[in-house]
Chain A
């Protein structure tokens, strides 16, 4: 095991960060707010999916769809109740409201769901790749023994499907083109006849659905608990900023950078420093922003 194995781990981690970060960054780009409650949307999705898979019980793909629908509806309802009424007050009140809403949601989930972590009942198949000739590159081996599990493949495959669907949405549909127009200039989009409120609603639903999907994938990969989403919010935020806040394509790139840095730093840092791998991801974030303040795919900052 070695570099290839850890790249696989990084791609898996990057995949569910990317799915969530797309929704997070679209809210920023179109609604113009940083939604710190977004991590709880993942938790809601994970729990809805878990209930659908166990109580109903539905097969996992159907439970995923229920989770996406549930989280999408919750996202829209919360936006209508808490964010839309203060949309005119600027980003800071919206940010503070989202932090408060996140705390409330987390405690409501805790009251309803209790303390225990839960696991999706899925059969994991592990594909072992052994005896691959080693190709030494410097001090590490490029190839060698490594494994991939069925969960890894589901996470990476789901991310690819989401990326393709997102690209089709943004380039081939009126709604997607309207989203891009609003992201560039909301006033111009409005005078050109775009129903901006309708598009905002669509973004809330879409972001919620992506959070629901990411939540279930996280639940399948790890477990479902009150902290499922909250523990991811900083990485999602980092991916969105690294990619260029407001840019879905950038968020994808940022997420994979974060995922790979997390995996590779754990693997190759001195043993005494492996507990700080998450800090390494943020160090990379700072270094990239020093070189390119707008992020990987963000537009250059315009002088006023």
Chain B
């Protein structure tokens, strides 16, 4: 019997075929796993705003890491694509950007968001059920929030936020210990009125007072002011030997210039974002001797990161968030590789297993991919820290002290993660 074909295709069959083909073609983009399309990771970024001076190093580290991942081949040849959108570190803008990245760009994970954005958007992030692996936030608000609570397979108790930079609780403890070691048993504090600026101060103050230091006076200022002289005058009425400053760079430039002009003297202790050459260039010689405690480069594979970074295009300087950005990108790609699929839930379930479990220690994505292909479990050893996520999605690392000497920051001391762990035991960060 001859089939009843006339050279035309039934319209319903055609629609089915087109639909199936379209679904197959877009499966990768939709995160349905296993398809051949690019896997998109979103990067909410500080391209503008008060913290934008830190973004170039983070963007470059991310791009170099993505290039390395794509050279090795993600999920047997799928491209990893970064979609970067500007939040200006404004919570409302960040909310919009997150929605765009998830809804429009189909991102399966996010590699960004600052404390100033994460804290007010915490519930919103939970609703998105997409992992945020961020190199930025120090906020102690996150010390006992985030991560998978140690149960990778069960996402019902997950809090979807992971950070590859040490908490303010950790590195401000380093600053406090250093101040006390220098016999500054009484300090003044001046800080901005945003979440990030306050978080640094809270961490510093808690650690400092817990170790018998005394805060003589704390003055909070409105960021964006054209003058901080009255606030400085207020602060320096009190008796102390050192003062801690927590402000964004632009405001700190004004404040420390006012401080220099006023000849107030005493020992400045800077928050970690202020370890920038621009600050020295603006304030000049009076800043000599000032120091900042910053997240250290205690990852076992910092040198591998550094050489890859320096070989990459662009001249952005490395800052304290650059290596954590590298780690965030690599560990996320390893989670996708271990899952064998690119979905938000798969990434969430695999971030713990590739970072903290027993298994072959790997230094980069290529090594991790090979080990996973051999059926081994892996443990990513990062650049900024060893990236062993706690149950709350945090990491522990060393703190370095950078001091202004001869008009540039020089690393003069390192406080190891082990030393700090005595002051900030796991479960508190």
Residues of chain A touching chain B, judged by Cβ–Cβ distance below 8 Å, are 1, 5-6, 9-10, 12-13, 16, 110, 115-119, 124, 126, 128, 147, 149, 151, 218, 221-223, 225, 227, 231-232, 262-264, 266-267, 271-272, 274-278
Asked if B377 is at the interface (CB within 8 A of a chain A CB), the reply is no
Q: How far is the CA of A12 from the CA of B234 in the complex (A)?
A: 17
Are B249 and A117 closer than 8 Å at their CB atoms?
yes
Are A9 and B230 closer than 8 Å at their CB atoms?
yes
Asked if B233 is at the interface (CB within 8 A of a chain A CB), the reply is yes
| A-B contacts, 30 listed (Cβ < 8 Å) | A1-B236, A6-B230, A9-B229, A9-B233, A12-B227, A115-B48, A116-B53, A117-B249, A117-B250, A118-B282, A147-B262, A147-B263, A149-B262, A221-B226, A222-B226, A222-B257, A223-B257, A225-B250, A227-B224, A232-B226, A267-B230, A267-B234, A271-B234, A272-B220, A274-B219, A274-B220, A274-B231, A275-B193, A275-B222, A278-B222
Are B217 and A267 closer than 8 Å at their CB atoms?
no
Besides the contacts A262-B230, A267-B233, A274-B231, what 17 more A-B pairs have beta carbons closer than 8 Å?
A: A1-B237, A6-B233, A9-B229, A9-B230, A10-B230, A115-B53, A116-B53, A117-B253, A119-B253, A124-B261, A149-B262, A222-B226, A222-B254, A266-B231, A271-B234, A275-B222, A277-B222
Interface residues of B, dominant DSSP: helix
Are A231 and B253 closer than 8 Å at their CB atoms?
no
Are B221 and A221 closer than 8 Å at their CB atoms?
no
Return the chain B residue nearest A222 by Cβ.
Answer: B254
Asked if B281 is at the interface (CB within 8 A of a chain A CB), the reply is yes
Residues of the A chain whose Cβ atoms lie less than 8 Å from the Cβ of B219: 271, 274
Residues of chain B touching chain A, judged by Cβ–Cβ distance below 8 Å, are 48, 52-53, 193, 217-222, 224-227, 229-231, 233-234, 236-237, 249-250, 253-254, 257, 260-263, 278, 281-282
Residues of the B chain whose Cβ atoms lie less than 8 Å from the Cβ of A272: 220
Residues of the B chain whose Cβ atoms lie less than 8 Å from the Cβ of A1: 233, 236-237
The 7 residue pairs across chains A and B that have the minimum distance between CB atoms: A266-B230, A275-B220, A222-B254, A263-B230, A119-B282, A275-B193, A231-B224
Are A119 and B257 closer than 8 Å at their CB atoms?
yes
Q: How far is the CA of A231 from the CA of B231 in the complex (A)?
A: 18
Residues of the A chain whose Cβ atoms lie less than 8 Å from the Cβ of B249: 117
CB proximity of A248 to chain B, nearest CB, Å: 21
CB proximity of B198 to chain A, nearest CB, Å: 10
CB proximity of B283 to chain A, nearest CB, Å: 8
From A221, A267, A274, B227 is in contact (CB under 8 Å) with A221
Return the chain A residue nearest B46 by Cβ.
Answer: A115
Instruction: Tell whether A126 pairs with B262 under 8 Å between CB atoms, given A9-B233, A119-B281.
Output: yes
Residues of the B chain whose Cβ atoms lie less than 8 Å from the Cβ of A115: 48, 52-53
Q: How far is the CA of A263 from the CA of B48 in the complex (A)?
A: 30
Residues of the A chain whose Cβ atoms lie less than 8 Å from the Cβ of B237: 1
Residues of the A chain whose Cβ atoms lie less than 8 Å from the Cβ of B221: 266, 274-275
Are B226 and A231 closer than 8 Å at their CB atoms?
yes
CB proximity of A257 to chain B, nearest CB, Å: 15
Q: How far is the CA of A231 from the CA of B228 in the complex (A)?
A: 14
Are A117 and B278 closer than 8 Å at their CB atoms?
yes
Are B231 and A117 closer than 8 Å at their CB atoms?
no
Are B220 and A231 closer than 8 Å at their CB atoms?
no
Residue of B226, B234, B263, B282 with most chain A CB atoms under a 10 A cut-off: B226
Are A231 and B262 closer than 8 Å at their CB atoms?
no
